[in-house]
Structure 1
Amino acid sequence: MNKTDRQLAIMLELQRSKVVRAEDLSALFETSVRTIYRDIQALSEMGVPIFGAPGHGYSLMEGYFLPPIGFSAEEAVALLMGADFIEQRLDGDYGRVAKAARSKIEAILPEPVRDESARVRETMKLLHAGEPKTGLREKDNLGLARRAILDRRKISFSYKKNTPEPDGNRKSKREVSPYGLALVQGHWMLIGHCDLRQDIRHFRLSRMTELAVLDKPFALPLGFNLSSYRPRDDRSEHVLIRANPEIADKIAETGHFYFESAEEHKDGLLVRFRVRTPEELLHLILSWGGAAEVLEPESLRNRIREEAEKMLKRY
C-alpha cells in the first residue's frame, strides 16, 4: 500500500471508529508507529480535523465526513460479486436489497471503471460445485430466523434429523433461542440454545418445517460472540476404511470434515475418520461404490452390507 492509499485508509478508519490508537493503525496497515505519526501530521496539514488524546488515540472532529469516494475497477468487482452472492444465498429481503445496491453501484461508477469492471466480471463466475442451492423454503426460514435473532425472540419449529433418535423418531418439535447463522458447506445452519436439550445446538434450516417466531424474548449469554464461537468437538467414534488409491482425491474433497489420516499400504489406502455416529458416513461411503471397504466398526460394515443387498434386489 502506497502512502496516499494508506492515508485515505486511515481517514476511513477514523471515520468508522470513534477513537483509534496509533499502535492499532500500525498493526492494521503493517507499518511502523512512526510512519502513522507522519501520516496523521500530513492529514492534519491538509485540513483534516484530527484530534489526538495522549494515552487514548486519534479521532475525527464530530460532524466531519469524507467527500464521496470513487471505486477502482477491482473494488467495484468485489462489491458487485458480493451482491451476486447475497442474492443467491440470502433470503428475499436481502435479495432485493442486493439488486438495488448493485444498480446503485453501477450507476455511480465512471464509464471507464464500469466498462472495466464489467469486462473483469465476464471472466469470473460464482459457482457452488458440489454444494446444494439455497432453496425457497430454506430462504424463507432464513428470513424468519434472521429477524428473530435481531429482535431477540425465540423460535419454534419441527426438525427432522439425519439420523434417528434412540427411540427411533427422526422428527421432533424444538423451541430455540437463536444466536446466529452460518453458511457451512452450502447449508445454512442456525446456532442457538435448544430448550429440549438444554444446550447450544446447530440446526440445518433446510430440515426445519413450521418455523414460527414466538413472542418470547431471550438474552444472549454473557460474552457470547458468534465470530469467535467454536463448537465443541464431540466426534468420538472412529471409522476405518480401505480404499483404492485412485479415489484418494475424492475422499479428501468430500470427507474433509471427518477426515483424520490416510496411509498407503500394498493392499490399498487405509483411511481413518472420526465421527459422532458411524452412520454419518453411510451415504458418503456408498457413493464410492466398490472402490472402498469398511473395516471398522463392524456395525457400519453390516449397514453397508444391508444397503448393498437392498440395491441388489432392485437391480
Structure 2
Amino acid sequence: MNKTERMLAIVIELQRKGILRAEDLAGRFETSVRTIYRDMQALSEMGVPVAGATGVGYSLMEGYFLPPVSFTPEEAMALLVGADFVELLLDSGYGSSARSSQEKIEAILPESVRGETARLRSVIRLMNDRTACMRVAEKAAFEQLRRAILQKRKVRFRYSKSLAEPDETRHSERTADPYGLVFSQGAWMLVAFCGLRRNLRHFRLSRMKELDVLEQSYDVLPGFDLRNRRPADDRDLIVRMRVDPAVADLVEGSDNYYMESFEPMEEGWLATFRVRRIEDLLPWTLGWGAAVSVLEPESLRERIRAEIEAMRKRY
C-alpha cells in the first residue's frame, strides 16, 4: 500500500470508527507511529479536517464526509451479490432496501466497471431453492423481532422443543428481552434474556409461534456483545459409522452439520459425528440404507434395528 492509498484508508477508518489512536492506525496499516503522524500532517495540509487530542486520538471534524469512492469490479461484485443474499434470506423490508442499494451502486459505476460486474454476476446465481423456501415462514417473525430489538421491547411467544424421547415435544410460553439475531448451524436464532429461565438463551425462529411484540421495554445486560456471543456446543455424544466406498463421495459431500471427520478405514470409510442425542442422526442414517452402518454407540444401533423392524411390519 503506497502513501496515497494509506491516507485514503486512514480517512475511511476515521469515518467508520470515530476516534482512533496513532498506535491503532499504525497497527492497522502495519507501519510506524511516526509515519502515521506524517500522514496526519499531510491530510491536514490537503484540507481534510483531522482533529487530534493528546491521550485520546484522531478524529474527523463533525460534518465531514469522504466523497464517494470508485469500486473495482470485484468490490462492486461483492456488494451486489451481498445484496442478493440479503434479499433472499432476510425480511421484505431489508429485501426492498437491498434492491434499492443495488440500483444506487449500479448507477454510480463507470460503464467499464458496470459491464465487467455484469459479466461476473452472470456466472453466479442464488437460487430460491427448497432450503430457502423453508425459511419464508420465518421472515415475518424475523421482521417483528428486528423491530422489537431496535425499539427495545419485550416479546412473548410459544416455543416448541424436541425432547429425548422420539416424537415427544415440549411446548412452553416465553417472555423474553430480544438482544439480537444470529444465523448459526443453518438456521436463524434469537439471542434473548429469557424471563422463564432468567438467563440468556438461543431460540430457533422456526420453533417460535404466536409471536407478539409487547409494550414493555427492557435494558440490555451490562457488557453484552452480540459479536462475541456463541451458542453453547453441548454435542457430547460421539457416533462412528462405516461408509461403503460406493457412496463415500456422496456422504462426505452431504454437508452434515454433525460430521467431525471422514477418513479411510478397512473396507470403506470411517465417519465420526458429534451429536446431542442419537435422534439427531436417525433419519439421516436410515436414508443411506445398507451403504452406511453404525459402529457405535450401541443405543443408535438398537434404534436402527427397531426402526427397520417397524418398517418391515408395516410393509
Please give the range of the TM-score, normalised by the shorter of the 2 chains: 0.7 to 0.9
Q: Does the CA-based 8 Å contact 1:88-1:134 persist in structure 2?
A: no
Q: Which moved more, 1:233-242 or 1:166-175?
A: 166-175
Partner of 2:84: 84
TM-score normalised by length of structure 2? 0.87
Paired residue type of 1:169? T
In the alignment, the residues of structure 2 paired with residue 67 and residue 262 of structure 1 have an alpha-carbon distance, to the nearest angstrom, of: 51
Q: Which moved more, 1:153-162 or 1:141-150?
A: 153-162
3-state DSSP class of the match of 1:24? helix
Q: Which moved more, 1:28-37 or 1:146-155?
A: 28-37
Partner of 2:309: 309
5 Å matches for 1:259-278?
259-262=259-262, 264-278=264-278
Partner of 2:299: 299
Deviation at residue 225 of structure 1 after TM alignment = 0.9
Partner of 2:207: 207
Per-residue CA deviations over 1:101-156 (Å, capped at 9, x if unaligned) read: 11222222232322222122112233588954453321111101111122222222
Q: Does the CA-based 8 Å contact 2:262-2:272 persist in structure 1?
A: yes
Partner of 2:5: 5
The verdict on how the C-alpha distance between 1:184 and 1:102 changes in structure 2, with shifts beyond 3 A counting, is same
Q: Does the CA-based 8 Å contact 1:157-1:212 persist in structure 2?
A: yes
Per-residue CA deviations over 1:1-35 (Å, capped at 9, x if unaligned) read: 33322211111112233321122112222333333
Deviation at residue 89 of structure 1 after TM alignment = 0.6
Deviation at residue 256 of structure 1 after TM alignment = 5.5
Q: Aligned pair 1:24/2:24, yes or no?
A: yes
Q: Does the CA-based 8 Å contact 2:263-2:271 persist in structure 1?
A: yes
Partner of 1:33: 33
Deviation at residue 96 of structure 1 after TM alignment = 1.0
In the alignment, the residues of structure 1 paired with residue 23 and residue 287 of structure 2 have an alpha-carbon distance, to the nearest angstrom, of: 53
Q: Aligned pair 1:172/2:169, yes or no?
A: no
Q: Aligned pair 1:103/2:100, yes or no?
A: no
The verdict on how the C-alpha distance between 1:113 and 1:272 changes in structure 2, with shifts beyond 3 A counting, is closer
Q: Which moved more, 1:135-144 or 1:29-38?
A: 29-38
Per-residue CA deviations over 1:80-104 (Å, capped at 9, x if unaligned) read: 1111111001001111111111122
Gaps of 5+ in 1: none
Paired residue type of 2:283? H
Paired residue type of 1:32? S
Partner of 1:155: 155
The verdict on how the C-alpha distance between 1:218 and 1:110 changes in structure 2, with shifts beyond 3 A counting, is same
Deviation at residue 204 of structure 1 after TM alignment = 1.8
5 Å matches for 1:70-81?
70-81=70-81
Deviation at residue 313 of structure 1 after TM alignment = 4.9
In the alignment, the residues of structure 2 paired with residue 80 and residue 202 of structure 1 have an alpha-carbon distance, to the nearest angstrom, of: 31
Q: Does the CA-based 8 Å contact 2:164-2:277 persist in structure 1?
A: no
Paired residue type of 2:209? T
In the alignment, the residues of structure 2 paired with residue 30 and residue 249 of structure 1 have an alpha-carbon distance, to the nearest angstrom, of: 43
Q: Does the CA-based 8 Å contact 2:162-2:169 persist in structure 1?
A: no
Partner of 2:288: 288
Partner of 2:125: 125
3-state DSSP class of the match of 1:227? helix
Q: Aligned pair 1:233/2:233, yes or no?
A: yes
Q: Does the CA-based 8 Å contact 2:88-2:128 persist in structure 1?
A: no
In the alignment, the residues of structure 1 paired with residue 204 and residue 106 of structure 2 have an alpha-carbon distance, to the nearest angstrom, of: 35
Q: Which moved more, 1:82-91 or 1:70-79?
A: 70-79
Q: Which moved more, 1:206-215 or 1:252-261?
A: 252-261
3-state DSSP class of the match of 2:196? coil
The verdict on how the C-alpha distance between 1:255 and 1:15 changes in structure 2, with shifts beyond 3 A counting, is closer
Partner of 1:49: 49
Q: Does the CA-based 8 Å contact 1:258-1:275 persist in structure 2?
A: yes
The verdict on how the C-alpha distance between 1:130 and 1:169 changes in structure 2, with shifts beyond 3 A counting, is closer
Q: Does the CA-based 8 Å contact 2:156-2:211 persist in structure 1?
A: yes
In the alignment, the residues of structure 1 paired with residue 195 and residue 90 of structure 2 have an alpha-carbon distance, to the nearest angstrom, of: 27
In the alignment, the residues of structure 2 paired with residue 130 and residue 29 of structure 1 have an alpha-carbon distance, to the nearest angstrom, of: 44
Gaps of 5+ in 2: none
Paired residue type of 2:233? D
Q: Does the CA-based 8 Å contact 1:163-1:279 persist in structure 2?
A: no
Q: Which moved more, 1:5-14 or 1:302-311?
A: 302-311
Q: Does the CA-based 8 Å contact 1:176-1:193 persist in structure 2?
A: yes
Q: Which moved more, 1:250-259 or 1:71-80?
A: 250-259
